[in-house]
Amino acid sequence: MNYSSEFQESVIKLFNYYKKLGDDCFSQITDAEKLFWSPNENSNSIAVIVQHLHGNMMSRWTDFLSSDGEKDWRNRDQEFELYIEDKNELLLIWEEGWHCLLSAINRIDENNFTSLVYIRNQGHTITEAIHRQLAHYAYHVGQIISLAKIVEEDWSSLSIPKGSSSNYNEEKFSNPKTKGHFTDEFPDN
């Protein structure tokens, strides 16, 4: 695959979309203690999932093109032991991880796009590495959303609300066909 600024723009939009879903979850959670709740001992709280995402993002995207994505300074097991203490700290590491990721992707260009990157000594094309992490982050953001919907009684849907699909589709199909990215509908993306 050759470098494509369209591919790069698309994945940036997708990563920003998943970040925004998380941001919107955090803004709906009224009691910060709910961020630390987990359904049972085999499950993770929102805070623990954020810790894990942060650790993964910092490891994978720091020196993305020049060092293995599993850094020797990363302690993955510790990511699953609660160490953050409040919502402010959670939001700080959330932002730091996404900043690291987006900064790395913005440095990809036609001169380095064909580079191999490694994760635990396994070589990946840049496209494969991006898709691997995009799938991983979408999976965990989905977990965050599920937990947030459980703990927050006054939940506002982050997608098409239940029972609204027909109206949503009717509105979409009433417009002419256009080329665009689905995330373009979201003003902060």
CATH number at residue 96: 1.20.120.450
**Beta-bridge partner residues of 179:** none
Average pLDDT over residues 150-163: 91
What integer pLDDT is reported at residue 187 of this predicted model?
60
49 is a domain residue: yes
In this predicted structure, what is the pLDDT of residue 52? 98
In total, how many domains does the chain have? 1
Q: Return the SS3 of 124.
A: strand
Q: What is the pTM of this model?
A: 0.93
In this model, does residue 58 exceed pLDDT 80?
yes
pLDDT bin (cut points 50, 70, 90) of residue 3 is: confident
In the predicted model, what is the mean pLDDT of the chain?
94
Q: What is the mean pLDDT of residues 10-24?
A: 97
Q: How buried is 56 (Cβ within 10 angstroms: 0-12 exposed, 13-18 middle, 19+ buried)? A: buried
**133 lies in a domain?**
yes
Q: Is residue 171 part of a domain?
A: no
Residue 80 included in any domain:
yes
| Biggest distance spanned by C-alpha atoms of the chain | 54
pLDDT of 169 above 70: yes
Is residue 173 domain-resident?
Answer: no
Work out the burial of residue 162: count CB atoms within 10 Å of its CB; fewer than 13 is exposed, 13-18 middle, 19 or more buried: exposed
- Residue 96 domain-assigned? yes
Boundaries of domain holding 133 = 5-159
How does pLDDT run across 73-118, given as a tens digit for each residue?
999 999 999 999 999 999 999 999 999 999 999 999 999 999 999 9
pLDDT, greater one: 137 or 187: 137
In a domain? residue 79: yes
User: For residue 2, what pLDDT band results from cuts at 50, 70 and 90?
Assistant: confident
Is 38 part of any domain? Answer: yes
